[in-house]
Amino acid sequence: LSAVLYNLLYITSSRQSVMYTCSMLVQKGIFSPVERSRRRARLVSKDGRCNIEFGNVEEQSRFVFLIDIWTTILDLKWRYKMTIFISAFLGSWFLFGLLWYVVAYVHQDLPEFNPSINHTPCVENINGLTSAFLFSLETQVTIGYGFRCVTEQCVTAIFLLIFQSILGVIINSFMCGAILAKISRSKNRAKTITFSKHAVISKRAGKLCLLIRVANLRKSLLIGSHIYGKLLRTTITPEGETIILDQVNIDFVVDAGNENLFFISPLTIYHVIDKNSPFFHMAAETILQQDFELVVFLDGTVEATSATCQVRTSYIPEEVLWGYRFAPIVSKTKEGKYRVDFQNFSKTVAVETPHCAFCLYNEKETKAKERKGYDNYGFVMSEASETSDTQMYNQIKITPLPLGREARGCRLNLDEETTSTTRRAHL
């Protein structure tokens, strides 16, 4: 009883401590129960699998999968593929075993018919269904024990032997080809391409960029590699239509360009957040409230097999770290070799970063205005043409009067040509 009471008190105290910790996190703004309860749906998982299912597919559309039987077999999981593999061989052996038994039964070769000594059976030494099954197995896999064999007595048995041999070769070719194609699929090569767990946003070459790290775990290269991204989000058109999976192109580059990547060491790809970027109006304080999914694709050709492969992953707002950069992982050893430390592959380091791209570009524009000497880019100096009135007033000479009681203003004297229009201006 004391042990039970102790466990109850321990569980109660643990729950109270957890609730207290959660309440403190909520007060500090670190944890939000609303955000936690709202699970973000991924279209693409971190390992590249697509989270989508098709419903209400018509029966005619399902029949199309049977027409494209090769692709259907390749897309099956291993357990289903092995089930079909074993069932195809066992089924063919048993089916032809029944046919050989029928041939022996019709020709009265079985012992139950008490054949005479001079009776020549269609197949030697078939005494029942078991022996017929063994003969079918020996024939299709070309074992050739020599104890059971077809005679010249029955033409039907000869044609059945030919048909089973041809069908056995077809089954062997199809099943072995399906297994080999399944093993050598390029998506298995894609598993040796890894992306960083998080994407980071920081300054790079004076620009605010979204950075992702990708690495090739094999020494063999990917030929003609090309990397790009898609931003999936829900948008509402001006006509009021809601698009659930609206796709926006995201261009990723490296310092050497995004075509034909030299993928011998981990690369840091980046997307410049400019005015055309969908991340331009996001900020460090509001990115977690956004609803988007960034899907990154890497296409390339496998060097060993010349097969094309595609690697993909995705990032949701919680996996985008604002104000961080990736830690360096490439170093040089004493032997002169370059060493890649994958322990720090996804490690990030906090750096000073503007809290929004809009502020960074405004700061740059302000500095550019200060260098040019004016504050308004729309202001343009223009020359004014002189009219007859302005020419007349340009000829006016202002003569200052001495200070005193009589000096209550300044006398405006014109040239000799304009003495008739002389006026006095009192200030």
pLDDT tens per residue, range 339-389: 888 888 999 999 998 888 877 776 666 665 555 555 544 444 444 444 555
Residue found by looking up tokens 């770290």 in the block: 321
pLDDT band for 167, please (50, 70, 90 cuts): very high
Bridge partners of residue 411, in order along the sequence: 399, 424
The two tokens of residue 261 are 């990547």
Q: Is 22's pLDDT higher than 60?
A: no
Q: With left for phi above 0 and alpha for psi between -120 and 50, is residue 171 left, alpha or beta?
A: alpha
Mean pLDDT confidence for 256-275: 81
**Cα–Cα distance for residue pair 49/312, rounded to 1 Å:** 8
**For residue 32, what are the contacts with CB-CB under 8 A and spacing of at least 6?**
26
What pLDDT, on the 0 to 100 scale, is given for residue 335? 87
Q: How confident is the prediction for the chain on average, in pLDDT?
A: 78
What pLDDT, on the 0 to 100 scale, is given for residue 334? 87
For 271, other C-beta atoms within 10 Å of its C-beta total 24
Mean pLDDT confidence for 45-71: 81
The two tokens of residue 201 are 């946003």
Closest listed residue to residue 311, CA positions, set 275, 263, 346, 359: 263
pLDDT band for 205, please (50, 70, 90 cuts): confident
What pLDDT, on the 0 to 100 scale, is given for residue 411? 39
| Three-state DSSP class for residue 311 | strand
Decide: pTM greater than 0.85.
no
Q: Rounded to a whole number, what is the largest CA-CA distance in the chain?
A: 165
Bridge-based pairing of strands 320-322 and 199-204 is parallel
Q: CATH code for 64-183?
A: 1.10.287.70
Residue positions counted in the chain: 427
Q: Is 82's pLDDT higher than 60?
A: yes
Mean pLDDT confidence for 231-235: 91
Domain boundaries along the sequence of the chain: 2-37, 64-183, 192-360, 388-426
Q: Is 230's pLDDT higher than 90?
A: yes
**Type of residue found at 111:** P
What pLDDT, on the 0 to 100 scale, is given for residue 259? 63
**Cα–Cα distance for residue pair 178/55, rounded to 1 Å:** 28
Closest listed residue to residue 100, CA positions, set 141, 130, 143: 130
**Cα–Cα distance for residue pair 379/272, rounded to 1 Å:** 30
Residue found by looking up tokens 């829900």 in the block: 234
For 279, other C-beta atoms within 10 Å of its C-beta total 23
Q: CATH code for 192-360?
A: 2.60.40.1400
The two tokens of residue 59 are 């029966």
Backbone φ and ψ for 139, nearest 5 degrees, come out as -70, -45
**Cα–Cα distance for residue pair 180/134, rounded to 1 Å:** 28
Between residues 408 and 336, the one the model is more confident about: 336
Closest listed residue to residue 108, CA positions, set 120, 118, 96, 92: 120
Worst-scoring range by mean pLDDT, 6-20, 67-81, 113-127? Answer: 6-20
**Cα–Cα distance for residue pair 374/378, rounded to 1 Å:** 10
| 8 Å CB contact between 168 and 89 | no
What pLDDT, on the 0 to 100 scale, is given for residue 258? 59
* Residue 54: half-sphere exposure toward Cβ, Cα within 13 Å: 5
